[in-house]
Amino acid sequence: MTHSIAPTLQTTLGQRRIVTDENGRSVIEYEVGPHMCHSGGVAQGGFVCGWIDAAMAHASLTLWPEMTPMSLELKVSYFAPARPGLVVAEGWIEKPGKATCFAEGRLLDGAGKVLAKASSTIRLIPREVVEASARKAQGA
């Protein structure tokens, strides 16, 4: 009997590597696969949003590693299609706060062309609170 291993969030998003992850900034490389695309070989917008959102969350974790970033609001503006190949998501903390921070990010293609930009309001919740809530929801 063969057991399949569920993919991680990172593999689902096509994460290659984290380039920078420090001082309120994060840069993450992703590989856009054909399975992420719809007609005409264009990456589905949810992946674009996810890539930038992940970079902004990573940026927040560089400043508040004991907190879990939870998106309260997320806005994405799409400028050009993301196509199969390398894309780079950048995220940074624009305005820090005690319980909420404001982040911005963008997605570039392999040549450095900006494909999309985003902004997010992030609620910072203590990690142990989020983990306890998850255990309770799972009935543990």
3: confidence class by pLDDT, cuts 50, 70, 90: low
> In which region does residue 11 sit, left (phi positive, over 0), alpha (psi from -120 to 50) or beta (all else)?
alpha
On the 0-12 / 13-18 / 19+ scale of CB atoms within 10 A, 96 is middle
Q: 140 pLDDT band (50/70/90 cuts)?
A: low
Report residue 122 as tokens. 């992030």
Over residues 110-124, the mean pLDDT reads 98
Which pLDDT score, from 0 to 100, does residue 95 have? Answer: 97
How many angstroms from the chain centroid is the CA of residue 38? 20
pLDDT(119) > 90: yes
6-52 tens-digit pLDDT: 889 999 999 999 999 999 999 999 999 999 999 899 999 999 999 99
Residue 1 has pLDDT above 60, yes or no: no
- Give the whole-angstrom CA distance, residue 30 versus residue 10: 9
More confident residue, 3 or 7: 7
Q: What's the mean pLDDT when you consider all of the chain?
A: 95
The domain segmentation of the chain, as residue ranges, is 12-137
Instruction: Kindly indicate whether the domain formed by 12-137 is annotated with CATH number 3.10.129.10.
Output: yes
Residue range 60-72, pLDDT digits in tens? 999 999 999 999 9
Query: What pTM did the predictor assign?
Result: 0.92
pLDDT score at 47: 98
pLDDT, tens only, 63-96: 999 999 999 999 999 999 999 999 999 999 999 9
